[in-house]
Amino acid sequence: MRNRHLLIGNWKMNLGPSQAAAFALKLREGLPKTARTDVWVAPPTVSLAPVCAELAGTSIVVGAQNVHWAASGAFTGETSPVFLADLGIAFSLVGHSERRTLFGESSQQVAQRTQGALAAGLTAVVCIGETEGERSAGRTETVLEEQLSPVLESVSRDAAGRVVLAYEPVWAIGTGKVAALEEIRQAHRCIESLWARKQFTSSPVILYGGSVNPGNFAEILALPEVDGALVGGASIKVDQWLSLIAIAEESPVARG
Ligand code: 13P
């Protein structure tokens, strides 16, 4: 639980360096001073440097979409967490369902990536979620446990405060099919109980992701189990993204 909302935009493989810089400029110009919302964005790797430059001096935090576990070495095509930290990057997404399903990342690898990110001083935004088939087979909570357990095993008490969890049901990503409020509550409660087993001193921070837009965000954020959102499509449309920030600003931070 946080005492501020957290809104993260995952730009996925959209907005190359020049487009991303132009988009970041629009964000900088349009961003209100936020009293209760932290705004983070995750551009593609090649766009990180121009976005950091454009957003320097603003409150927007810039992160990566994936990260390797090693500091350096023979890992063609991967990105070192140490290099990201060197660039001034604050966080990385880890284990996004597109990484798991399209690129075969296992939960064990996701745990390793999380560990690498944390060791380099980054915050790790760990994504988990079930497919439609897993949900209809009644396996949602089992899948959440299978995905999260290796990650939580690898997180030390000291680093737990730099872990953010994102519940993203795969069937809700990019489909316009948002999870029902009760489904979100149940999944978040399941994640909370998995976290509680570890007896970390910090409480879990849990975002919802999957077809979040200005029309459905207020009721999702009003759920006491939800700390914020991880947003894809609506995060690369300036008007929608600024609307989401405005909605978060209007929403009380209810903790309990
Ligand atoms: P959409 O918001 O486009 O459904 O994407 C969600 C997502 O995958 C964020 O990581």
Nearest protein CA to atom 7 of ligand 1, as residue:
232
Question: At a CB cut-off of 8 Å and minimum separation 6, what does 87 contact?
Answer: 48, 49, 52
| Alpha carbon distance 38, 151 (integer Å) | 24
Task: Kindly tell me if the per-residue pLDDT of 255 is higher than 60.
Answer: no
Question: Nearest-CA neighbor of 146 among 183, 180, 184, 95?
Answer: 95
Residues involved in catalysis: 96, 168
Nearest protein CA to atom 2 of ligand 1, as residue:
232
Residues 196-210: tens digit of each pLDDT: 999 999 999 999 999
Task: Kindly tell me if the per-residue pLDDT of 256 is higher than 50.
Answer: no
Give pLDDT, residue 34: 87
Which sequence spans correspond to the domains of the chain?
5-250
199 C-alpha to center of ligand 1: Å?
A: 30
| Alpha carbon distance 109, 86 (integer Å) | 23
Q: Which atom of ligand 1 is nearest to the CA of 234?
A: 2
| Alpha carbon distance 190, 234 (integer Å) | 27
Pocket of ligand 1 (CB under 6 A): 10, 96, 168, 173-174, 209-212, 230-234
The answer to whether 90 touches 61, Cβ cutoff 8 Å, is yes
| Alpha carbon distance 194, 199 (integer Å) | 10
Residues 9-49: tens digit of each pLDDT: 999 999 999 999 999 999 999 998 888 999 999 999 999 99
Is the pTM above the cut of 0.95?
A: yes
Question: Nearest-CA neighbor of 125 among 133, 117, 134, 137?
Answer: 117
Residues 106-117: tens digit of each pLDDT: 999 999 999 999
Residue matched to tokens 């872990």: 163
Beta strands in 75-224 (DSSP E): 91-94, 123-128, 163-167, 206-209
Beta strands in 189-246 (DSSP E): 206-209, 228-231
Q: Which atom of ligand 1 is nearest to the CA of 173?
A: 4
Question: What CATH number does the domain located at 5-250 have?
Answer: 3.20.20.70
CA dihedral of 98, 99, 104, 110, whole degrees rounded to 10:
-130
Give pLDDT, residue 232: 98
Q: Which atom of ligand 1 is nearest to the CA of 172?
A: 4
E strand or H helix that includes residue 196: helix 181-196
How far are the Cα atoms of 67, 79, 114 from residue 237, in angstroms, in the given order?
25, 27, 29
Residue 57 φ/ψ region, left for φ over 0, alpha for ψ in the -120 to 50 degree band, beta for the rest: left
For 234, counting Cβ atoms within 10 Å of its Cβ (0-12 exposed, 13-18 middle, 19+ buried), the class is buried
Residues 144-198: tens digit of each pLDDT: 999 999 999 999 999 999 999 999 999 999 999 999 999 999 999 999 999 999 9
